[in-house]
Amino acid sequence: MAGYQVINYPRNAQQSWNVKKKVYVKSYGCQMNAYDAERMADVLAPEGFIETQSAEDADLIVLNTCHIREKAAEKVYSELGRLRVMKDERRAAGGDATIVVAGCVAQAEGTEILRRAPAVDLVVGPQNYHNLPSLLAKAKHAPVVDTEFPIEDKFDHLPAPSREKILSRGVSAFLTIQEGCDKFCTFCVVPYTRGAEISRSVAKILGEAERLASAGVREFTLIGQNVNAYHGEGLDGKTWSLGRLMHRLAEVPGIARLRYMTSHPRDMDDELIAAHRDLPALMPYLHLPVQSGSDTILAAMNRKHTSDEYRRIIERTRAARPDIALSSDFIVGFPGETDADFEDTMRLVHEIGFASAYSFKYSPRPGTPAAEMTTQVPEDVKSARLAALQEALDDSRNNFNRAAVGQTFDVLVERKGRVDGQMAGRSPYLQAVQFDDDTVAIGDIVSVEITRTGTNSLFGKRVGEPMTAEKPPSIGANAA
């Protein structure tokens, strides 16, 4: 590939007019990718890059990709096809664009991306994006691939975002506390793309949490591929669990709410379940993927638990926090899944009553054991099962939301509503809530009486005075 300029502007023009370069980061997939995308923007900010929301006016385009299912990975190649045309047109007009593929497709496919999409300048894995400035400098001369798992911790090299940046991202923030996975479910690419489980130390997490909170963040969602397997170095030098970490984070001034995702049933330990009972800041919401209700399929998936063990974990968590809302992930059409196996999944859904859920058709992923299984389920069977499951999950969610009418919830105000005079936020159970009142501030926690349900939101009216960061709220006091 010929050498090219990273920016469209002549060097001296940039110096004399202080022209900023623009970066567009498009993120696919999970919350971890959304978090990484923000951190990439933070790494590029000191290099003079400002963020833009469209590829068309960006000098640098970063696709932060997801490899979890085939559809997600293929989306990247079709986007790269469009970007190639754009880059060619710009070059014909004397300009240029730099294209970066980051995230899990980058990690899994590496140089294959350059073969399939030669317009790409840089392929960078999830553990290496803190080096974006130097990698971009190298990529000026020839395409670069960096998918090593470095010894150093990328978090030590990531610059802190400015207060303005933190606030522009909202009062609810993701905070990565753990990365990678050692579970090796037979369908999943994560242990290969994100590597072995590592936990950040409590001191480093607290440092980031305090910085975010002092800029106005009021809610953290602690994220990790296997977040409840957290076992980081504590402030006393001993290993702390997620439950212990959350008790400390709840003491950070300004922080009113804590959430965490995604969890594995095997790691729901007593301390974590007790935190749901004892820690008012920990929201009554648990995303705990079960994947299937059939013990045969759970074994073939290498989930290392049975459906009854899952039921018991839910019972114990509900005993600790009776109003807890449950969410899960499901895969239909895993190799060997029979009608009877699928019925076991449907039974579990009806028994537990999920407030929300994600469900997917099994997608064979290269390099995973399940992709090699000879008992693959036909596509039409997968589609029919997914439709039936989604209908049941929709009913379950609608029932949960309908039960909210007439109740009063604490709502963390996150933004203005769609209509003038309306504000929008989330209930403790992660439901989107809109209410008519523009006297309250973003970041306040207000009591809202729910009057009706809409397609994607609950609607209500404010009752009582807002609780600001200075007057810490008693979260959960109004819970169902």
Round to whole Å and give the CA distance between 444 and 435: 13
Nearer to ligand SF4, 107 or 172 (CB): 107
> Which position among 63, 66, 173, 181 is part of the footprint of ligand SF4 (CB under 6 A)?
181
φ/ψ of 100, rounded to 5, equals -120, 135
CB of 185 to ligand SF4, least distance (A): 3
Stretch that binds ligand SF4, among 37-45, 181-189, 273-281, 435-443 (CB under 6 A): 181-189
CB of 176 to ligand 5AD, least distance (A): 16
CB of 266 to ligand SF4, least distance (A): 9
State the first-to-last Cα distance of the chain, in angstroms, to the nearest integer: 61
Distance of CA 120 to CAs 7, 60, 425, Å?
15, 11, 39
Q: Which does 205 bind (CB under 5 to 8 A by kind): ligand SF4, ligand 5AD, none?
A: none
> Which position among 7, 188, 250, 352 is part of the footprint of ligand SF4 (CB under 6 A)?
188
Q: Which stretches within 141-269 are classed as H helix?
A: 163-168, 190-193, 202-214, 242-249
Provide the mask over 263-282, with x wherever binding to ligand SF4 is found by CB under 6 A and - wherever it is not: -x------------------
CB of 68 to ligand 5AD, least distance (A): 5
> What is the gyration radius of the CA atoms in the chain, in angstroms?
23
Give 148: exposed, middle or buried? Use CB within 10 Å, 0-12, 13-18, 19+. exposed
CB of 187 to ligand 5AD, least distance (A): 4
CB of 188 to ligand SF4, least distance (A): 3
Residue with tokens 């800041």: 281
Half-sphere exposure of 28 (CA within 13 A, CB side): 23
Q: Which does 247 bind (CB under 5 to 8 A by kind): ligand SF4, ligand 5AD, none?
A: none
Instruction: Please report whether residue 185 would count as binding ligand SF4 according to CB under 6 A.
Output: yes
Q: Beta strand 458-462 with 445-453: parallel, antiparallel or unpaired?
A: antiparallel
CB of 302 to ligand 5AD, least distance (A): 12
Q: Which does 450 bind (CB under 5 to 8 A by kind): ligand SF4, ligand 5AD, none?
A: none
Cβ neighbours, 10 Å, residue 309? 16
Write the DSSP string, 225-258: TTGGG--EE-TTSSEE-HHHHHHHHTTSTT--EE
Round to whole Å and give the CA distance between 189 and 363: 11
Instruction: Please report whether residue 62 would count as binding ligand SF4 according to CB under 6 A.
Output: no
Instruction: Please report whether residue 366 would count as binding ligand SF4 according to CB under 6 A.
Output: no
Instruction: Please report whether residue 223 would count as binding ligand SF4 according to CB under 6 A.
Output: no
Residue at shortest CB range from ligand 5AD: 329
Q: Which does 69 bind (CB under 5 to 8 A by kind): ligand SF4, ligand 5AD, none?
A: ligand 5AD
Instruction: Please report whether residue 190 would count as binding ligand SF4 according to CB under 6 A.
Output: yes
Round to whole Å and give the CA distance between 469 and 425: 16
Stretch that binds ligand SF4, among 73-81, 178-186, 208-216, 249-257 (CB under 6 A): 178-186
Strand spans (E) along 306-444: 325-332, 356-361, 408-416, 422-426, 432-436
Q: Which does 331 bind (CB under 5 to 8 A by kind): ligand 5AD, ligand SF4, none?
A: ligand 5AD
CB of 378 to ligand SF4, least distance (A): 23
Instruction: Please report whether residue 396 would count as binding ligand SF4 according to CB under 6 A.
Output: no
Round to whole Å and give the CA distance between 89 and 177: 42
Q: Which stretches within 18-69 are classed as H helix?
A: 31-44
CB of 298 to ligand SF4, least distance (A): 11
- Residues in touch with ligand 5AD (CB under 6 A): 68-69, 187-188, 289, 291, 329, 331, 360, 362-363, 365
Cβ neighbours, 10 Å, residue 124? 26
Instruction: Please report whether residue 226 would count as binding ligand SF4 according to CB under 6 A.
Output: yes
Angle (deg, nearest 10), helices 242-249 and 270-278: 30
Query: Which stretches of the chain bind ligand SF4, using CB under 6 A?
Result: 181, 183-185, 188, 190-191, 225-226, 264
